[in-house]
Amino acid sequence: MKRILPVLIVLCIIGTIFYCLPTSKQRQEQKQPKTLEELNGCKVGIQTGLNYEDYLKEACPDAEPIFFSQFPTMFPALQQGKVDSILTETTSFVVERLEHEGLVAIEEPLDNVDCGIGVSSDRNGAVLMEQLNDFIAEYKSDGTYDEMMKYWFDEYDRGNATVDKSGITGENGVVNFTSEASYEPICFVGEGGELLGFDVDFIYRFCRKYGYEPQIIPLEYDAMSAALTSGRCSVAMGLVEDEERAEAIKFTNAYISYDIIALYYVDTNETSFPEQVAASFKKTFIHEERWKMFAEGAYTTLVITVLSVLFGTVMGLLLYLWVANGKIAEQRVTDFICWIAGSTPTVVLLMILYYILFGNYVISNTAAAIVGFSIVFGCEFYAKIVSGVKAVGTGQEEAARAQGFSVNQTFFRIIFPQAIRHFSANYMSDVVSLIQETSVVGYIAVMDLTKMSDLIRGRTYEAFFPLIATACIYYLLILLVTTLLKRVFFVTDNQNRKVKRILNGIDTQADKNQE
């Protein structure tokens, strides 16, 4: 009873907290703004990177903006009552109302936005700027713009939308474009992992006319400006112009116009809970074979993890050997490197590598991620070796050197095998942390497990199955990697040798003595 009592107390406290919290239905009954005036005093969800808070402040000065990194995370918050309204565009509302009948738009828009295209400020950007402006003027005057607006918004046929990608010659080189790939029907990942949408259609029409080969890099919206200023991309689609961006980025004339609207939620779902679960499961995994996206993302995450662990382990070992055979200068340089790597948030380090250090080099996004995580893991492993060697003590090293062992022989045959036993548990913890930290590689356009989950949520506006599936796959990856590491540590530990192997040398010597 004494063992169970603390558990019961904790459960009672947690149950009381959840009982006292207002439910989503209670929140929705409290505030359901149907006009812009009623939006004052409400919590309004806004995607980061946009300047929609300025429009909100002007139209509804008493509204409270709540920021989200992506739109797919905003709808569950609205549905659960964490916010009273969310801001979106008339272009994306085409899809949002298809997924959820309960979404209702306030009739009066906050404002109309003429959205341009961000272009880099270098010499190549000046050429692209002129060509893009000419193309925008032409496609608006000859009816192409109206044709695309009708196809992608007015008569959008989800599941049958295609982009004509033929006729690309590429005689004038490759142009790197970036767009947000979880923003249907502007830019999204369709069946088979193919990028589709209004932006993709525009890019291919432009490149077909001017002889470019397009390379589209899908990024988070708030990472697109960094990709442009660093030179990683030359063109960023759909960037909203503001004063700060205009100082570093050039903008074309408007290539698309839309209204900013506020949405609220009315629960009109009359289906049973099992039916809702079945429909959500089908949309998440079965429709368009989206389970393959989870598999591809898990494979990418596993590749990044395994290679980062291997390279990081080698790097940490080399750092230790360099310091052990060096002087005080090598020690201070190594400590400084490890301090920098350990003090920098992983996502910031990855963006520095991708957008700054590798900005002018041709390197894949996955390779940049592996380099970043290898540096972090290598510095952590170096610290583990130092602590493990100190735990062994100096007596065994002195005894080995007295028997004629060299420095390297002493380290690799005697000291290091014993040190492994002291840091093996922490080593596996670092590997687990590495697997978890790979979830941020989407900021440098790596299609890992978390990014694939975001893309699926961007298509389905479902939160439960994509997030639960992602968590379960991470658990399986951690279980697989840690199981393999435990096996490696067990096999390489001399204390786990079989008795026959231990007595092999002794038995041989005994036989010789008998002879």
13-38 residues labelled b (16+ CB within 10 A) or e (exposed): eeeeeeeeeeebeebbeebebeebeb
Please tell me the predicted confidence (pLDDT) of residue 143: 92
Residue ranges of domains in the chain: 25-113+258-267, 117-253, 289-495
Beta-ladder partners of 1 = none
> Can you tell me the distance from the alpha carbon of 334 to that of 325, in angstroms, rounded to the nearest whole number?
13
Please tell me the predicted confidence (pLDDT) of residue 286: 83
Please tell me the predicted confidence (pLDDT) of residue 272: 65
Please tell me the predicted confidence (pLDDT) of residue 266: 82
pTM of the model: 0.73
String of DSSP letters for 60-75: -TT-EEEEESSGGGHH
Contacting residues for 457 by C-beta, under 8 A, at least 6 apart: 70, 72, 73, 182, 463, 466, 467
Please tell me the predicted confidence (pLDDT) of residue 140: 93
Instruction: Give all strands of the β-sheet with 235-236 in edge-to-edge order.
Output: 213-218, 174-179, 235-236, 118-119, 250-251
> Can you tell me the distance from the alpha carbon of 391 to that of 210, in angstroms, rounded to the nearest whole number?
66
Based on DSSP, count helices (H) and strands (E) in the chain, helices before strands: 22, 14
> Can you tell me the distance from the alpha carbon of 193 to that of 454, in angstroms, rounded to the nearest whole number?
13
Please tell me the predicted confidence (pLDDT) of residue 28: 47
Please tell me the predicted confidence (pLDDT) of residue 408: 79
> Can you tell me the distance from the alpha carbon of 286 to that of 368, in angstroms, rounded to the nearest whole number?
32
CATH code given to domain 289-495? 1.10.3720.10
Count the Cβ atoms, other than its own, within 10 Å of residue 107: 10
Please tell me the predicted confidence (pLDDT) of residue 373: 95
Length of the chain as a residue count: 515
String of DSSP letters for 110-142: SEEEEE--EE-SSHHHHHHHHHHHHHHHHHHHS
> Can you tell me the distance from the alpha carbon of 232 to that of 15, in angstroms, rounded to the nearest whole number?
50
In this structure, whether the domain defined by 117-253 belongs to CATH 3.40.190.10 is answered with: yes
Beta-ladder partners of 175 = 214
Please choose, from the candidates 466, 450, 463, 454, the residue with its C-alpha nearest in 3D space to the C-alpha of residue 180: 454
Domain 25-113+258-267: homologous superfamily in CATH? Periplasmic binding protein-like II (3.40.190.10)
Backbone angles phi, psi at 300, to 5 degrees: -60, -45
- 194, 20 in Cβ contact below 8 A? no
Please tell me the predicted confidence (pLDDT) of residue 70: 75
pLDDT digits (tens, 9 = 90+) for 350-376: 988 888 888 777 788 899 999 999 999
pLDDT digits (tens, 9 = 90+) for 40-89: 988 999 988 777 888 899 889 999 999 887 777 788 888 778 888 999 88
Please tell me the predicted confidence (pLDDT) of residue 498: 65
> Can you tell me the distance from the alpha carbon of 515 to that of 502, in angstroms, rounded to the nearest whole number?
22
- Asked whether this chain's domains 25-113+258-267 and 117-253 adopt the same fold, the reply is yes
- pLDDT, averaged per 10 consecutive residues of the chain (515 residues), comes to 68 62 50 85 85 88 87 79 88 81 86 89 86 94 93 87 90 90 84 85 95 89 81 86 78 92 79 72 80 90 94 92 80 88 89 81 85 94 89 79 80 84 88 92 86 81 84 93 88 67 53 52
| Whole-number Cα distances in Å, 74 to 166, 265, 350, 461 | 36, 12, 26, 9
